[in-house]
Amino acid sequence: MTRFLFAVVPLVLLTSAAPAQQQGRDACSRDASRFCRAHLSEGDQVVLACLKEHRSRLSKACQQTLADHGQ
């Protein structure tokens, strides 16, 4: 039973966060392509750092998404 809970709880948490995460990706995808194209294959953390470097040039939707997620 304990193993089952350890397997299911993270899965439930991930699936509930997935729609919000997808909206954030949608809001910033154009900005990421525009300002961080060279880093897109390097992983999410590198792209996030790149977006932060270009924060003043990002779309309002992407800026808001970053702010909403404490970035």
What is the Cα–Cα distance from 40 to 7, expressed in whole angstroms?
A: 31
pLDDT of residue 67: 93
Q: Which of 51, 69, 71, 59 is nearest to 27 (CA)?
A: 59
Cα–Cα distance for residue pair 19/35, rounded to 1 Å? 24
The overall pTM is greater than 0.75: no
Mean per-residue pLDDT, 20-26: 65
| Choice between 71 and 8, residue whose per-residue pLDDT is larger | 71
Name the nearest CA neighbour of 23 among 68, 70, 55, 71.
68
User: Which residue ranges make up each domain of the chain?
Assistant: 2-68
Query: pLDDT category, 24, cuts 50, 70, 90?
Result: low
